[in-house]
Amino acid sequence: MIRSKLKKKIFEVLKRVRGVTIAGVSLTFDDKVSLSEVLNALNDVGVVIAFDEAQYFRYYGSRGGKDFLAMVSYAYDNLENVRFIFSGSEVGLLRDFLGIVDYDSPLYGRIYEEIMIEPFTRELSKNFLRRGFEEFGIDFEEEVIEKAVELLNGIPGWLVEFGYNYVETRDFNRAMENVVVKAERFLEGELRELSKRSRRYILILKAIAMGLNRWELVKGYVESRSGKIPNTRLANLLRNLEKMGWIRKTMKEYRVVDPVIVRVLKNLSKTI
């Protein structure tokens, strides 16, 4: 009921905006509609606008997303009832794009709140699965919980995926295999996108997944398959992979953050 009233109110205020057409329960925006007018109208209602994988807005327009950020900046400064949420899996790139600490960014200096979703601790992961199984009334052995947590290393998305599949199959191996299959499908698209930027990204990930996780080992693996690479170029590629959330550096070693992705990468020897 509340949602219905809110939707009706939103439609009412958007009717005042030129280029916006209301047809039943749908909205149509003309090419020339002014986004600033839309935001001004929404300010009368009070809304939270969320953008998922917002780092990809850096490809928007001819100025690398600066026009989009300028619009957000305008709303921040002038529309007190409009709020924004930006989420993304490539945290470093999202930070770079928003540029809160970059003097050249339209959002420079704005106050914001950041929430990082880190992998669960081992104990939290076990409790997470226990509570889920208990809610479904599923009988389970503690060994199932232990093995799942060991393999999934606290990644929330994969814990959810495993829990769902275990409820459906009541079989550890089948449930874990389903998680890996989904990871393979996910990774296929992600690797395609990485390859468009540089095939060496895939070679670096492959090296680290196989345990060649120190600088000189990564470089040797990459050069053996793609030719000589300058140190500065390799450093940039590694830094970008960190920003995209694929790898993390601890002391002098690199590791792939997601253990399920490691398993998938190890099986890619015939395609890379």
Could you tell me the domains of the chain? 2-98 (3.40.50.300), 122-185 (1.10.8.60), 198-266 (1.10.10.10)
The mean pLDDT of 63-88, rounded to a whole number, is: 90
Cα separation values, 61 from 180, 205, 269, Å = 37, 31, 38
- pLDDT of 272 > 60? The answer is no
Torsion of CA 186, 191, 197, 203, to 10 degrees: 150
- pLDDT of 122 > 70? The answer is yes
The mean pLDDT of 4-13, rounded to a whole number, is: 69
- Picking from 199, 208, 181, 213, the residue whose alpha carbon sits closest to that of residue 272 is 199
| DSSP helix/strand/coil, 33 | coil
pLDDT category, 21, cuts 50, 70, 90? low
Average pLDDT, the chain: 85
- pLDDT of 112 > 50? The answer is yes
Amino acid at 171: D
The mean pLDDT of 99-123, rounded to a whole number, is: 87
> What does the pLDDT read at residue 182?
86
- The Cα 137–Cα 142 span in angstroms is 15
End-to-end CA distance of the chain: 54
> What does the pLDDT read at residue 30?
65
Which helix (H) or strand (E) covers residue 146, if one does?
helix 142-152
- Picking from 79, 73, 123, the residue whose alpha carbon sits closest to that of residue 102 is 73
What is the β-pairing status of strands 247-250 and 253-256? antiparallel
- More reliable by pLDDT, 230 or 41: 230
Percent of residues in the chain assigned helix, strand, coil, to nearest 5: 60, 10, 30
- pLDDT of 1 > 50? The answer is no
> What does the pLDDT read at residue 144?
93
pLDDT category, 15, cuts 50, 70, 90? low
- pLDDT of 95 > 80? The answer is yes
Which residues have C-beta within 8 Å of that of residue 52, sequence separation ≥ 6? 87, 88
The mean pLDDT of 241-268, rounded to a whole number, is: 84
